[in-house]
Structure formats: structure tokens, C-alpha cells
Amino acid sequence: MKRAILLFILFFSAGISLTYSQKVNVTDYQVPISRATVFRFDGTWSWSQNGRTVTSNDARGKVLYKTFYSSLPLAWFLNVDAVGGKNLSVYNHNVKLDVSFLKYFLESEDFFGSAQLVAQHIGSSKILPQSNDNYRQIKSDITIGFGYGRYINATALAKAVRIEGHLLRDDVIKGNLPKETMIAIANIIDRQQEYQEVYQTTYETFWFDDIEKEIQKSGLIDEFGGVGSIGFQRMRQVLFNINEKVNDRYYGWLTSVGISIPTSTSDRSPVGSPEASLSGRYSFPISWDTQINFKIDVLSPLDSLFFKKYTVRSNLDFIYELSNRVNFVSGYRFDFVKQPGIVAEPIHNLDAAFLYYIENNIYLTINSNLSKQGSSPTVLGTSLGINYNIF
């Protein structure tokens, strides 16, 4: 145990020392408009046989789409998580849509009003064979409230730091670039779409030239020689995901309170009472190689069961870039439903995966999952799959 704690301290210290070796911190990146989009597809297949009997023939696909936009007056988030599969003759799917809007009262402050829609559709051919009830109606609810906080996408600055690291190792620059230079480069990287619209097919030349000019202003490079062919190659490598991938970097937090109004159920039962809602969201890169994300929701009905009955849902995600090609991604999910007179059984779900970046946004993934509900036996699973980031 002592050895494990020591290794953890050394690992954490290494991450912190890496952060302070840079002259720029992730929180130095302030932009009036911040946006990010992720569109990813995962596919797995497993097969097993006992004698001449096929016991499992499981094919499964998952589509994940996330996008967010944050400006001084307005912010919104859109998450779509769809899972579908077939095991032997059983088909199933689970599609969830989560949309939220935040309107800030003042551009100089972080107070906002919010609205959220969550819709989910679950179906399985195992419930009632050859029946339309297998594909039940959509479960949905709407939440209205207010809160405080703001989110910033600092991925462009993380890419600038990755480029700087390459230029240092290749002796293109003489030392770490000043904070002002790094932020200026990140702002140029963030304006990729603007360069595409203005310069069309030749935008890459102007985009890279402006990055080079900012590096030359630092005085850490030959003003006339520039970054050279190796420098431009490293820029393309980082900015176009050639042989490596920079994961998204976010920082900031949001907290909100409101009223959640159920509008439909999956089994056509009565929707029940509105619920008080408390939500929190937090993201921060511990170092330039790591990212941590946390989210929690607490719900309790606004009736005689207020705080006698409640639901807690939380997610914790951790990403660590072991190298330019290999990432470690883990996630912990906790669900807890408390009802009067019923023994609550918390649900724990732990995922861990190693992602090897092949090329062109394609990853080879090695996944493991551990889940436990109450006193039920622990379920452990492993899989090998392909992950494709569409953009």
C-alpha cells in the first residue's frame, strides 16, 4: 500500500512539474467565444461457442455526438449518446438526447438562466417478442432554472503547447515561448474556420505563416530562417491529427438549481410530480497531459416525499495522454435512488480503456468494465474494438 501511494505521489508530481515547466497555464486562455464538437463511433463484436452450441454472438455499436458553444451572453450544450446491438436473435437500443441552454444576464457576470431537455428511448426485442411494445415511447423531461459559472474550451492552447514541445525537441526554438506568444498562437489555431472562409484551398499557407510570425516575434528563433520545413511538418502533424491526436481540453464549472418537469414516460404510466433539481459540472486539465471532468445531478419530488425520495447521478472521467499516440481513458458512474421503505442499492460502474491512435482519427481500443449493483455479484468484462472520431 505504501509503495502504491508513493508511486501515485511521484506520478502526480510529474504531472504538476510538467505544468509548471510551461510559461502558460490553461486558465490564461480567455476567449469571448468558445466551442467544441466531438462525433465518435465505436464498434465491438464478440463470439463464443460451447461444443457445437453458439452461446454468444454479440455485435454492438455506439455513436457519441457532443457539441457546446459558449459566448459572453449565451451558451448551449448538445449531447447525443446512442447504443445499439444484437446478441443471437435479440436486438436492443438505447438512445439519449440531452440539450441545455444558458442565457447570461450580464456579459460581465457569470449568472445565467437555464433550460434543459432530456429524452431517452430504450427498446429490446427480448421484452415481448413480435410486439410493438418492445419499442416503447420516449421518456422525456424539461428542467428550468438558474445558476452560476462558465465553460472554456482550451484545446487550441493545448495544441500550441504540443507544437512548442516538438519545436523544442527538434532545436527549432531556443526555449519555452512566452505566455503572450502561446496565447496568440492559440488564438490563430482557434480561427481555422475563418482562414478557410477567407483563403479557401490555400488557407493552410496563410494559417501557418501567421503562426510562424508569432514565434519569430518571441526572439527565440532566427527571424529570417523561420521554423523551416521541420517546423511546418510538426504544425501539420498536430493540427491535422497526423500520427497523433490532442484530446479536447476544457476548464470551468457550472452549478444550477431548478425544477424538472416530467413530460412523458417510457411505459405510458403517469408522469408523476415535478422535481427539484440541483446540478453541477466541473472540468480541468490537471496538467497538459491530463483532463478531468465531473458531473452530478440530484433530483427530489416536490410533494410529500420531498427529500424522502431522491435520485443521485454522477459521472467522473479522467484522460491521460501516455504519449502522442496512446491515451488512457477511465470513467466512473454512480447512481443511487432512495425511496421510503425500500433498501436502496447503489449502482457502481467503472470503465477503463487504452486507446492507440492508428491514423486518420481511427483508434484501436482495449476496454474493461466493472459494474456492481447493491449486494449483487460484481460483473467484469473486457473487449477489443475500433474507435472512429468522425470529427
Span 129-142, pLDDT tens digits: 444 555 578 999 99
* Segment 303-344, tens digit of pLDDT: 988 989 999 999 999 999 998 889 999 999 999 999 888 888
Q: Is the pLDDT of residue 233 over 70?
A: yes
pLDDT at residue 1, as a whole number: 43
Q: Is residue 122 part of a domain?
A: yes
Do the domain assignments include residue 292? no
Q: All 3 cell numbers of residue 310?
A: 431522491
219 and 125 within one domain: no
> Is the domain of 345 the same as that of 314?
yes
Q: Report the alpha-carbon distance of residue 385 to residue 391 in Å, rounded.
A: 19
CB of 316 closer than 8 Å to CB of 331: yes
- Confidence label for 11 from pLDDT (cuts 50, 70 and 90): very low
DSSP code for 178: P
C-beta of residue 147 within 8 angstroms of C-beta of residue 254: yes
Q: Are residues 177 and 77 in the same domain?
A: no
* H or E segment to which residue 256 belongs: strand 250-264
What pLDDT sits at residue 342? 87
Any domain includes 128? yes
Answer yes or no: is 346 within a domain: yes
165 with 99, same domain: the answer is no
Do 25 and 160 share a domain, yes or no? yes
Run of H or E residues at 94: strand 90-104
pLDDT band at 237 (very low <50, low <70, confident <90, very high): very high
- 177-210: per-residue pLDDT in tens? 999 999 999 999 988 888 988 898 899 999 999 9
- Contacts of residue 42, defined as CB under 8 A and 6 or more positions apart, other chains included, come to 61, 62, 64, 365, 385, 386, 387, 388
Confidence band, pLDDT 50/70/90 cuts, at residue 216: very high
This prediction has a pTM of 0.74
Q: Is the same domain home to 204 and 68?
A: no
Predicted confidence (pLDDT) per residue in 253-303, tens digit = 999 999 999 999 888 888 889 999 999 999 998 888 899 999 999 999 999
Residue 33 confidence (pLDDT) above 80: no
Measured between its terminal Cα atoms, the distance across the chain in Å is 42
239, 260, 292 — which closes off a domain?
239
| Alpha carbon of residue 53 to chain centroid | 40
Domain assignment present for 96:
yes
Sign of CA dihedral 259, 294, 83, 339: negative
Last residue of a domain, one of 131, 152, 173: 152
Model pLDDT, residue 8: 42
Residue 172 makes CB contacts below 8 A (sequence gap 6+) with 221, 227, 228, 230, 231, 234
CA dihedral 44, 50, 52, 53 (to 10 degrees): -70
The reported pLDDT for the residue numbered 55 is: 78
202 & 220 share domain: yes
| 123 and 80, same domain (yes or no) | yes
What is residue 324's predicted lDDT score, i.e. its pLDDT? 85
Residue 204 is assigned to a structural domain of this protein: yes
Give 172-175 contacts, CB < 8 A, sequence gap 24+: 172/221, 172/227, 172/228, 172/230, 172/231, 172/234, 173/215, 173/218, 173/220, 173/221, 174/220, 174/221, 175/220
Range of the domain at 347: 301-386
- Whether 44 and 125 share a structural domain: yes
Q: Compute the mean pLDDT over every residue in the chain, rounded to the nearest whole number.
A: 85
pLDDT in tens, 53-92: 877 788 888 888 988 887 878 888 899 999 888 877 788 8
Q: Is residue 206 located within the same domain as residue 235?
A: yes
The reply to whether 225 falls in a domain is yes
Domain boundary among 152, 179, 199: 152
Structural domains counted in the chain:
3
What is the percent of the chain where pLDDT is above 90? 47
- The confidence score (pLDDT) of residue 224 equals 64
120 and 177 share a domain?
no
For residue 269, being part of any structural domain is answered with no
